[in-house]
Chain A
Amino acid sequence: MGLQTNGLSLEVVGREITGRPVQGKPRRPAGPFLLGLPALLLSCVLLVPIGVTVVKAFVTNQHFGFGNFAVIGDPAALHAVGNSLLWVLVACGTVAVGFSLALLSYRLPAVTTLLQPALVIPFAVSVLVSGATFRMIFDPTPERGTITAVTTRLFGSSPVWLGPGLFWIVLMSAFGWTWLGYVVSLFRAGLDAIPDDVSRTLAAEGVRGWKRLWALEIPLLRPITGVVTLTLVIAAVRVFDLVLIVVPGSMQRSADVLGLNWWRASTTNADSGRTAALGVVLFAIVAAVGLIGVRGLRRRRWAMPVAVVPLEPTLRRPRPRPVVRRLGWFIGSAVALVWVLPAVVLVATALHSPREAGLRGWWSPSGLGFSSFAAAANVGLFRALLSTLVIATAATAVLLVIAVPTAYLVAWGGLPPRVGRVAMAVFVVLAVTPVQMYAAPLRDAIDAAGLAGSRVSLALVHAAAGLPFAVLLLRSAFASAPPAVVSEALQGPVRQSAVLATVQRTYRPALIAVAVLEFALVWNDFIVGFLISGPGTTPLSLVLWGEARQFSTSSGPVAAAAVVASVVPVVLLLSFWRTVVRGLTTGSRP
């Protein structure tokens, strides 16, 4: 609502009320508590195995103590811990780079046009695919490896990029390529949500440049920084398949990370207490970072104003000068080009015959055709595709059915505050728990139930693993509902259903974000299927992994399998990206 008088333009803006609209202790019917029951049951799929692992870690020869943790003194394990901590640094670095890119695109608005889709594609493909792509790009022979070809041309010779020490560059490029789009999009959404009146006030007070960054952007983006850092650190500590596919066998020892070390220990018949202790250490690292991240989330420094009426165009951020726009467009296109290059490499490699792809690079004009796709199809790609589709769909459906009522219960269901806090804490801990903490007891239980190799059990595990994050995200989205809407609905005769209807209408972005992310996550999964279902099931990523064993001579079929595997998540995320980002950022609001 705008008002103009005497050349003065006034505008009415609603501001969110914090706290409950009605004071006093509300009546608490028992009914809503049932909403949380399915989630409780599903969470037990993780909670019980985690408990088993923790107990195992602390029990040595029937004595309670830290005996098993001596495993960390083992030089190989120590090296893996060091590398995992290094990965945490890589994650923080990625957040910093993403933040600067988001800031750049905010200051130079035209940057985003091409950059956005270019950044989303890598996020949609699996870690295995991006690892395979970067291994192709950095291949040590100048005939195949793009970077090697370029450095050889420039300097006469080239370092062996996959060789000792340098494989870290390849690993970090693949990691950064995967995650930067997510980081930039979220920060950008947060920056866009900064109210212009605040910006203008600060500008009027002469706060500019670095000062403005410290005074305005960084504090305002703290909740989003929390979410982003949390996701990235978890991803970094869980790094597993990336190392397996990128690092050549002879170098894997030096690239060892905790997740891999755990897996080797658990497959070589080592003492189960020892592997459990490794899992607990891995978990401790993630949980420490997770808790710091959550602290960032909890701070309610700022209540974001809710725009009741869309701003008039004249009041929006001023259009930048043409020079700035052109500059932004240029930079954006350049970055976008660089960013899609790996995807281009992958598709172009897939379009060469296996022989040409193994012999020469993606740029070679000879041997074009679809024979690599045929070769990939011959190792059971389509059967794996179908089975992956079944698992991903089932997991997403189960997750939504259980997460929505739970999130509603935690947000507005009238849970006693203390119970609510405990529930949230449990979900936060579960959300950051690495697979290694529950994989071993869980697969034993699945085997004992005679469900080994069944896709249904794998889908259930995926749903259980996705539940904490989904509930956290949905709860925040529900909780950020205008309290007036909720209280109206609560007072009506059809209370819950009305609230759920409101929720459904208003908080669709968060719902879609949860569904899309879960589907893509399960579709791209390697580690859960690998660790829990073992060699029994052959989801897509396992086929990819099998093909990648003789990497460069199979690069045609590997690329073809990767392209086929990536089509679904890429299309899905590209079409829903705006909604996903909206859903994720509502979720990060306090």
Chain B
Amino acid sequence: MPSSRRALLGAAATLLLTGCSSDVLGLRRAVRVAVSWSGEELRAFHKVLHGLGALSYPVEVVPLGDDISTAFDAPAARRPDVVMLPQPGLVREHWRDLAPMPDDLAPLGQVRLWRNLLVQQGQTYGVPFKTAHKSAVWYRPSVFRQVGVQPPQHWSDWLALNRTLTQAGVTPLALGAGDGWVLTDFLENILLGIAPSVYVGLATAAHPRPSQQPQFGAALRLLGTMWSAPGALAGGVKESLVQQFPDALVEVFGHRRAAMVLASDFAEPVVRSFAADPDDIGLFTFPPMSAGAPAPVVVGGDVMVLAAPISDNSRDLVRRLAAPAAVDPWIAEGGFLVDRRTSGYSPELTRLAEQLTMPGGQLQFDLSDLLGALGGINGLWRVLTDFLIAVGGRGTDAVPDAVVAAMSAMRKVETS
């Protein structure tokens, strides 16, 4: 036995040596890229990195999930070099921890919508990598045909559509309330639809106080009207609460237990890979709140920022990733929109991309991402989760009290 044991030890030693010779020991400084993506998105990003060709430095992808903002709170030495920030609003709070973009990249961050977020003190601190259209509703056309309805033209049309579906025995909505941002996306679309100026005011305020805006309450009431309709939510409130956003997509397209789901463009790969019938996929955009009003378009996205202190390698990586062709592998995978580009996508995403570039549209940046902690897990996410629990499936009578409770909960968060 000793000989085999020796062989085993030898093999282990060789393995260790080969391991050490690479960057496994962490001694060779890799460019660390923090991302919030996981699953298909993470895989697609690895494809993008792979497509960059041979690099002279190792690249390490650090998936941080919803806690990506912690990337900045770390002391300089531990900070990831490049952060794909899904809440560009954080740049305003953290620009002191960031390095400005190199001059040749800076213009990319100075385009409309992004400029307010990314330019501080005359310097550009980020460039958009990925744009998200957060006002898309995916649905199954076959159900609509069967019941004899069309995608809604405005809000009350949508409520009527839900009623028609429920009466026909079809559950209208799946809601991935396990992810707080799914709820805020819903509310933001309504608020942007009924009171764009209030929305902008909150988005640009130094100390936003949503609870002091009556229109915020009005948006909650409208939202409550949709969520409180009996039988509107697949699985009811309890199941919605434990559903993450991909689960809601699977409910609609995989298990076919609901007709539609509010989900951004990046839902596309999940929709396509889990759809029971690949031809039964439709998409409409969030309807205007009243006939004739402009449709709300909430825009989100991931921006590339460089954490200070900066190295030549990370600057090089950002430059390569910012090249227009770099993201082609991800566009081919689906569920990826690039700012100001309208070609190369699937038909559904092309429509979304066109709406994003359409002049005169009611385009605004994702509000909860601009509110900082107020819009996050212990702020708006929690308030809306409790709101959903209070109204879900209980009928319109439950709405007024729930709105009052949500407003006072919001006040509490604002002052803490």
Residues of chain A touching chain B, judged by Cβ–Cβ distance below 8 Å, are 140-141, 143, 160, 162-164, 248-253, 267-269, 354-355, 358-359, 375, 378-380, 383, 386-387, 389-390, 393, 443-444, 447-448, 450, 452-456, 533-538, 542-543, 545-554, 557
Contact B247 A141 (CB under 8 A): yes
Known: A355-B274, A359-B274, A535-B71. A390 touches B247 (CB 8 A): no
The stretch from B73-81, B130-138, B340-348, B354-362 touching chain A is: B73-81
Contact A143 B255 (CB under 8 A): yes
Which of B42, B63, B273 is close to A354, meaning CB atoms less than 8 Å apart?
A: B273
Q: How far is the CB of A390 from chain B (nearest CB, A)?
A: 5
Q: Does B67 contact A (CB under 8 A)?
A: yes
Contact B382 A253 (CB under 8 A): yes
Contact B241 A164 (CB under 8 A): yes
Contact A553 B274 (CB under 8 A): yes
Interface of B is mostly: helix
Which of B34, B178, B274 is close to A249, meaning CB atoms less than 8 Å apart?
A: B178
Known: A536-B32, A538-B62, A545-B63. A359 touches B254 (CB 8 A): yes
Q: Does B26 contact A (CB under 8 A)?
A: yes
Neighbouring A residues of B180 by C-beta, 8 Å: 249-250
A542 to B80, CA, bound (A): 15
Q: Does B242 contact A (CB under 8 A)?
A: yes
Contact B38 A550 (CB under 8 A): yes
Chain B interface residue number, banded: 35 or more
Q: How far is the CB of B139 from chain A (nearest CB, A)?
A: 19
A141 to B377, CA, bound (A): 25
6 closest A-B pairs by CB? A546-B63, A447-B77, A553-B246, A549-B38, A248-B178, A160-B238
Q: Does B39 contact A (CB under 8 A)?
A: yes
Contact A453 B78 (CB under 8 A): yes
The stretch from B13-21, B113-121, B157-165, B200-208 touching chain A is: B13-21
Q: Does B310 contact A (CB under 8 A)?
A: no
Neighbouring A residues of B61 by C-beta, 8 Å: 379-380, 538
Which of A267, A393, A536, A557 is close to B39, meaning CB atoms less than 8 Å apart?
A: A557
Residues of chain B touching chain A, judged by Cβ–Cβ distance below 8 Å, are 12, 15-16, 19-20, 22, 24-27, 30, 32, 34, 38-39, 42-43, 46, 60-67, 69-71, 73-78, 80, 177-180, 235, 238-239, 241-247, 249-251, 254-255, 270, 273-274, 373, 377-378, 381-382, 385
A269 to B97, CA, bound (A): 14
Neighbouring B residues of A269 by C-beta, 8 Å: 73
Which of B27, B241, B255 is close to A248, meaning CB atoms less than 8 Å apart?
A: B241
Contact B179 A249 (CB under 8 A): yes
Q: How far is the CB of B380 from chain A (nearest CB, A)?
A: 13
Neighbouring A residues of B243 by C-beta, 8 Å: 140, 248
Which of B26, B38, B238 is close to A455, meaning CB atoms less than 8 Å apart?
A: B26
Contact A535 B32 (CB under 8 A): yes
Known: A160-B238, A250-B180, A355-B273. A550 touches B246 (CB 8 A): yes
Neighbouring B residues of A543 by C-beta, 8 Å: 63
Interface of A is mostly: helix
A252 to B46, CA, bound (A): 30
Known: A267-B70, A269-B73. A546 touches B38 (CB 8 A): yes
Contact B62 A536 (CB under 8 A): yes
Which of A267, A450, A537 is close to B67, meaning CB atoms less than 8 Å apart?
A: A267
Contact A448 B77 (CB under 8 A): yes
Contact B242 A163 (CB under 8 A): yes
Contact A250 B39 (CB under 8 A): no
Q: How far is the CB of B71 from chain A (nearest CB, A)?
A: 6
Neighbouring B residues of A447 by C-beta, 8 Å: 75-78
Known: A389-B19, A546-B42. A535 touches B80 (CB 8 A): yes
A379 to B24, CA, bound (A): 16
A442 to B75, CA, bound (A): 12
A538 to B78, CA, bound (A): 13
Q: How far is the CB of A146 from chain B (nearest CB, A)?
A: 16
Neighbouring A residues of B66 by C-beta, 8 Å: 249, 549
Contact B26 A456 (CB under 8 A): yes
Q: How far is the CB of A561 from chain B (nearest CB, A)?
A: 11
Q: How far is the CB of A428 from chain B (nearest CB, A)?
A: 32
Known: A140-B243, A359-B254, A447-B75. A164 touches B238 (CB 8 A): yes
A242 to B58, CA, bound (A): 32
Contact A248 B244 (CB under 8 A): yes
Neighbouring B residues of A456 by C-beta, 8 Å: 25-27
Contact B32 A160 (CB under 8 A): no
Q: How far is the CB of A132 from chain B (nearest CB, A)?
A: 13
A251 to B242, CA, bound (A): 8
A540 to B22, CA, bound (A): 17
A355 to B75, CA, bound (A): 40
Q: How far is the CB of A290 from chain B (nearest CB, A)?
A: 30
Neighbouring A residues of B39 by C-beta, 8 Å: 547, 549-550, 553-554, 557
A543 to B274, CA, bound (A): 23
